[in-house]
Amino acid sequence: MKRQKRDKLTRAHAKGYQAGISGRSKENCPFQSFDTRSHWLGGWREAAEDRSVGLTVR
């Protein structure tokens, strides 16, 4: 049975979250497509919110 790849938009969100939680700037978004970029930024915003309430990466 083949393994399915995760959806590209889900991956973009996860990558944005990782960038945001590690403190990278939202200007570093690697995507140009509007949909993918908006999912990446959504993940980044979610991580920034989590960071503001005290969640950190070790």
Q: In this structure, is residue 38 part of a structural domain?
A: yes
pLDDT above 90 for 52: no
The Cα–Cα gap between 31 and 28 comes to 9
pLDDT at 58: 57
- Chain segment 17-39, per-residue pLDDT in tens: 999 999 999 999 999 999 999 99
Q: In this structure, is residue 58 part of a structural domain?
A: no
Looking at the structure of the chain, the number of domains it has is: 1
Helices (H) and strands (E) in the chain, counts: 2, 0
pLDDT at 56: 66
Instruction: Determine phi and psi for 45, rounding to 5 degrees.
Output: -65, -40
Hey, how many other C-beta atoms are within 10 angstroms of the C-beta on 35? 11
Domain ranges, residue 14: 7-20+33-51
The token duo for 48 is 């920034």
pLDDT above 70 for 57: no
| Rg of the chain (C-alpha set) | 12
Structure letter (DSSP) for residue 9: H
